[in-house]
Amino acid sequence: DAKTTQPPSMDCAEGRAANLPCNHSTISGNEYVYWYRQIHSQGPQYIIHGLKNNETNEMASLIITEDRKSSTLILPHATLRDTAVYYCIVTGTASKLTFGTGTRLQVTL
């Protein structure tokens, strides 16, 4: 699976959009970009995934660059409950997930 690079931490003010970047320059054509988050002492929560088109669901939007070498997860209106570690994972279908160190997002008042 392709390796991903994420900033170790980010801050975001409550109510503002949180934009979490991820680099995956070695992604191959059949690999998807998945985003999960883990709130302290809980199991990870699936957020969204995509192949090459931008995706949106009730939780977030995923913007994938045209060359697929990077992506951005957007939480449109961050709340305190969005404080968590966010993991960007690149993998093929039905493949195991390899968790990196993720980005620790701190949402502040």
Partner 1 sequence: GAVVSQHPSRVICKSGTSVKIECRSLDFQATTMFWYRQFPKKSLMLMATSNEGSKATYEQGVEKDKFLINHASLTLSTLTVTSAHPEDSSFYICSASNPAGGYEQFFGPGTRLTVL
**86 interacts with partner 1 by CB under 8 A:** no
Among 49, 63, 69, 74, binds partner 1 (CB under 8 A): 49
CA angle centred on 50, ends 29 and 69, rounded to 5°? 50
Dist. CA 76–CA 15, nearest whole Å: 8
Q: Which two tokens stand for residue 94?
A: 């039905």
How far out from the chain centre does Cα 70 lie? Answer: 11
Among 8, 29, 53, 96, binds partner 1 (CB under 8 A): 96
Query: CB burial class (10 A; 0-12, 13-18, 19+) of residue 80?
Result: exposed
**41 interacts with partner 1 by CB under 8 A:** yes
By CB under 8 A, the count of residues binding partner 1 is: 22
Among 14, 74, 100, 106, binds partner 1 (CB under 8 A): 100
Nearest approach in angstroms of CB 22 to partner 1 is 15
Binding region for partner 1 (CB under 8 A): 32, 34, 36, 38, 41-46, 49, 87, 93-102
